[in-house]
Structures are given as C-alpha cells and as structure tokens.
Amino acid sequence: MKSKLARRAIAGTSALAGILGLGIAAAPAANAAAAYNGACGSGYAVVNSMAIGTKGMTYLTYNSSTGKNCAVTIRNTPGAATRMIVLINVTGTDRTVVDDATYTTYAGPVYINASGSCVTWVGNLLGASNSKIGTNCG
C-alpha cells in the first residue's frame, strides 16, 4: 500500500498568480468534484462513480486485460488527515477488500477480481458515505 506521506497534497500558489507577482493562490471552484486521479494504474478505466455527499467521489475502475476492478475514494479538497474508507466486494460473497485509514487526499486503491460477477463498493469520508450494491456485473 502506498505510504501516507506519498498521498499528502502539496500546497502552493497558482502559476498565474506567481507569474503576475500577485502572491495569492487562485481559489478552487466551490464543491468541484474530485477527478479520478489514476491511482489504480495503467489499463484501468473508470466504469462508474458516485458522490460522497459534497465531500468527494468514489471511482470504480476496471481492467479488461486482468478482469480486476479497482476502487478509490478521493476528497474534493485535500486537507488535514482524516479517516477515509474505500471498500469493494464481490456481491453475495465474503470476498472484500478495504482501505480504512487516515489520509489527506485519497483512500485506496483497492483491487478485486470480479470477472463474471457484480460488485458492491463503498466510499466514506468526512462523515459522509455512499454505496452501490450489485453493480457493474459481467
């Protein structure tokens, strides 16, 4: 699993503000949904996503070469370390993989081979949670 240090966000000023010598950072868009960050690696494409309240997103990806699904929960705005969860399960089985720890930016990735099956996946952060049960079958 990736170290927590590697997941920390790097704070800084915007490039435009620096070029103009304004010394201010551009404000992020309000409640902008976190984009998929590629954490699952090459060969994985986003096949589904869900909002975690207004706090972030959980993305479900799939690699057709390996038959594996991957999930990651990403905060809209990185901040102080907080408990974050991402879980993926082969629906109707006890085959479950979870990342439940304290992070600043994202939890996961978690991987599971669910070829020919449906998956249940869960995201939780900053007191908000969401889940999809028995989706992306095949």
Per-residue pLDDT of the chain (138 residues; tens, 9 = 90+): 333 333 322 233 233 233 233 343 343 444 578 899 999 999 999 999 999 999 999 999 999 999 999 999 999 999 999 999 999 999 999 999 999 999 999 999 999 999 889 999 999 999 899 999 999 997
Cα 80 from Cα 38, distance rounded (Å): 22
Residue 93 to residues 96, 114, 120, Cα–Cα distance (Å): 8, 11, 10
pLDDT in the model for residue 59: 98
- Catalogue all structural domains in the chain, each as residue range(s) with its CATH number: 32-135 (2.60.40)
